[in-house]
């Protein structure tokens, strides 16, 4: 099993938002792209200056019998507080704080360790990776990076930040 890092991304936002909407939207984006989401960590600390929330997700999608896309998403929210805001003339409760979303995308090959069972298969795996899988790998590399940038752009739209195309 080999894991190759493709790209990394980090975005920061400070201001007013809805934490429940943030959580649901991030989950829904990954699910709409076909990823399964495993929550590795959810830590909530209450502090005098505001709550601190740390969330780590391992999102993965099987693309064929040999390749698996993985996107690791880590959210850190500092100074999370409830605030009263007026939206279209109606007073409502939102959240305020600093949000940081960090993502890394990977391609994991031979994710079921089928080719690692004996030395001959391991040699054939090396030949396959170098001579046959290279063009497929380049295609998958672009696809997983596009998926991660889609998630990033959607989250930037949620926060009304400038997106890249």
Q: What is the pLDDT of residues 32-85, one digit of tens each?
A: 999 999 999 999 999 988 899 999 999 999 998 888 999 999 999 999 998 888
- Which residues constitute the domain of residue 18? 2-158
- The number of domains in the chain is 1
State how far the Cα of 69 lies from the Cα of 106, in Å rounded to an integer: 6
Cβ–Cβ < 8 Å for 22, 99:
yes
CATH number for the domain that contains residue 65: 3.40.198
- Note whether residue 165 is domain-resident: no
- Note whether residue 24 is domain-resident: yes
- Note whether residue 57 is domain-resident: yes
- Note whether residue 163 is domain-resident: no
CB atoms within 10 A of CB 145: 16
- Note whether residue 75 is domain-resident: yes
Q: Tell me: the pLDDT tens digits for 98-126? A: 999 999 999 888 777 777 778 887 787 77
């Amino acid at each position: 099993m080999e894991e190759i890092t493709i790209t990394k991304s980090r975005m920061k936002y400070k201001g007013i938002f809805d934490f429940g909407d943030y959580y649901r939207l991030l989950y829904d984006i990954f699910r709409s792209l076909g990823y399964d989401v495993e929550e590795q960590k959810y830590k909530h600390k209450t502090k005098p200056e505001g709550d601190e929330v740390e969330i780590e997700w391992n999102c993965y999608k099987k693309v064929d019998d040999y390749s698996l896309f993985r996107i690791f998403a880590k959210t850190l929210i500092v100074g999370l507080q409830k605030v009263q805001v007026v939206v279209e003339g109606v007073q409502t409760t939102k959240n305020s704080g600093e949000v940081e979303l960090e993502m890394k995308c990977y391609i994991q090959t031979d994710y079921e360790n089928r080719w690692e069972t004996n030395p001959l298969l391991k040699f054939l795996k090396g030949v396959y990776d170098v001579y046959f899988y290279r063009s497929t790998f380049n295609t998958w590399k672009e696809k997983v990076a596009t998926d991660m940038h889609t998630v990033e752009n959607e989250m930037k739209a949620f926060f009304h930040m400038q997106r890249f195309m």
